[in-house]
Structure 1
Amino acid sequence: MSRLSLRGRMALLFVIVVTAVLTLAAISFDYFCRLHFERQDAQVLEGKVSALEMILARGNSLDPDMISDIHRLIDTSFGFAATIMVGDRVVSSHHNLSEELALSLSPRQDDQWLIQVGPNRYSGITERIKGWGGEEGRTIHLALNVTHRTHFFEMIRQWFIYTLVVSAILSGALGFVLIRGGLKPISRLSRTSSTITANCLDTRISTESVPTELHELVDNFNAMLERLDQSFLRLSGFSADIAHELRTPLNSMLTQTEVALMKDRENADYKEILFSTLEELRRMARMVDDMLFLAKADNGMITPDFEDHDLAAIASSVLDYYEYAADEKGIRLAMHRNGATQVSGDNLMLRRAVSNVMSNAVRYGEAGTTIDINISQAGQWVQLNVSNQGPTIPPEHIDKLFDRFYRIDTARREGSTLNAGLGMAITRSIVEAHKGSIGCHSAEGVTTFTVKLPTVRE
């Protein structure tokens, strides 16, 4: 069944259900019809037996008048037969009751019985009357010929089998046609999805033309397309950004080399050009290292060496490094510590993450302001907040700050290789590798980056 198509499976299940329902209905019809006729036969037979007992109660022996009344009682109903026995002797037998039927009934026959005699089937009742006909007692056997009813039920059973086979075939064919029509929305979804390529991921499927049951599937499919579209856009932008970031230093080195080769120069001039080229190569090497780090992070290949460290001590050493750059811009650095700040992680990675956040704060902080660094314990987390005063970041840019090569002001890109736009992406990868989180909030000229790392459990 696993190889059947969806239409085939549903059609087969439809046939099974229809067949099961019809079979149950037929069995119930047969059972209740038989039960009805059996109860009806019992009532009629009991009424006849009571009438026979009243006739026999008129005397202790069968006289011609009693036998005539018995035959008249039996003849008024079609299919009845009766016999009266004293012990094993038949003292009266209606002409419709054959000797074979009388001999087939044992003296201990149950009160109600059903017996087959030759081609005929009889439903009967036995009534015993003691104290008449000697010590052996008297027994009345009254039978009703139900052969015609048996033939009727056999015919009904045959017709039901034929009807069941025809109904199964028709229901299978009809079910297949109806199911094929019902699955047309899925076929349309399939045709629509087959037209989607990397160049048209903005295609969306409307839920107006599909049944309610498929709305969730369509919504999930559209959400998947949205994620793929965003991923392809980021990948395309990533490729363009890589080309752009590498083009600037390459063009600079190419220009310097061409100028140097235009005429003979002094050794000092060549040395200066080589130093300039070396600086550009170092910047390119740092960029390539950063991209390799992010590639490892994406594939789960970053494995920090977890050791216990004081995050406040790491942040303090990073502040000492950026103190000179902050003084040049007239920015003051202020650090506050509250509670235990022990975390478990890789010292070099944590230092790099804190350094990237501090570098970003110093770069975009306004002159004459203060950068506040607050480190505190918040439940099971150690929280690092770095706040600087500067331009407010629009809300639509907040979630993209940690994307690679992303800058809010695209004009800053031209001619600058000091900031490739990978620092915050690397910081997020480091923090997530330590099972932490990083976020940003910007309002009223104050931007705060928040880093949360799990505290050391004692």
Structure 2
Amino acid sequence: MRFVKTMPLNSLSLKVLLAYAAGMLLSITLLVIAAVVLLQSDMLARMDLADAARGLANDIEFDGSGEPVGFDSRRLDELGWLFEGPQSETAYRILDETGNVAVVSSAGETFWPSDGDLPPLAPGNFTFEHEGKAFFGAAEPLEHDGRTWYLQFAASARFVDLLHKVAFPLVVAGVAVFGVVLFIAFGFCAYITLRYTLKPLRDVSESAAAISPRSIDARLQTSAVPAEIAPLVDSFNCALERLERGYRVQQEFLGTAAHELKTPLALIRAQIELIEGGKKDRAALLNDVEYMTRQVQQLLLLAETSEVHNYHFAGVPMQEVACEVVSFLEHMAESAGVRLEVRAVGDVTWRADRAACFTLLKNLLENAIQHAPAQTTVRVEIQGDTLTVRDRGPGVDEEQLPRLSERFWRAAHRRDHGAGLGLAICQEIALAHGWRLTAERAEPGLRLRLSNEERKSPATLARRQTCMK
């Protein structure tokens, strides 16, 4: 069933349900103990007789002169057998306010105590003995035509005890059935209540699990969270704010450092280019400056791609972007003796940031060109939700494949001396779009595969964009 799930031992729901079950069992046990105690004492007998006397008093009939004549026919049909006949287990009589008997049951006046032990003309319980047997009695006053009458009802102790012995199993069974029904009904209600009461906590947990460096500005909502848990969620939001400030400071430092280094590097390059003598030293210095400039540019680009708010999503024709990248890198490919080729099946449009797509494809193709042997082809294939870039170079060892997207890691057989940030930038862009970038050996060469998970599950993009807001 959908509602039945295995709960861990430290589950709050399980603890509440166990506490509820223990409370129910304790309540049922106390009810049974109370019933046993009451049945073994005369308190319950007195209460029962008082209730019986009260009920009988309401059913007394009077004649035209206002004198009581007995019970109405309905009550006689129901209980007349208790007071008629030779048995002496129950009896009743009706007296006026002076103690004169107006109506008496078949047991007669001899059944009742003599003058010395006469029951009082007042509401309440009394006891007496008749023929060696103990009797419980109760008196109930009633008003009729301005006169006060008293109904006295009595039953033997053994008769009451017999009734209680017969009633006790029924009481226990009734309590058990009532307890089971209550346990199931309220247990189910408690489970459903806990399930929907704790649902906001599950939603908050899922929202917290979705927070990443690309959505660190997201905050957990406290509107539907129980008041007891809201302070914890607020504290978590405060911690997120501190983390965001630290992350922003780090990213700003990275971007500022890259910007600050670009200008002096440009000035150094210009001064070196003006030097006339020492061409070898000049070329070496220019090569070092170019390397440093590329590294700074890659650092700046890495800082920009790590910030999701720098992206502007729209429909992007991937084949068109791939052709633009090929045109941009055509001179580099010709210098390396490598041919670039784009193959696409149909018009493929992904929801993405166009500039970020250009940077990603440019880095993938640059990486492939730097490793591809001369007179070979680097091919870009676009089909549905997959884009692949394949070269026919020496490839990468199987154990080194996971390191391709590590920052500042470089393969030993590449042609240039790059910063080792190209594929790390590609990974940041892919993560920001919800894509998956993987590498696999192509025998020969290396194949980099970009999978658009958003085309498979559009709801994922909606959730991610919600987290970015």
TM-score class, shorter-chain normalisation, is: 0.3 to 0.5
Normalising by structure 1, we get a TM-score of 0.46
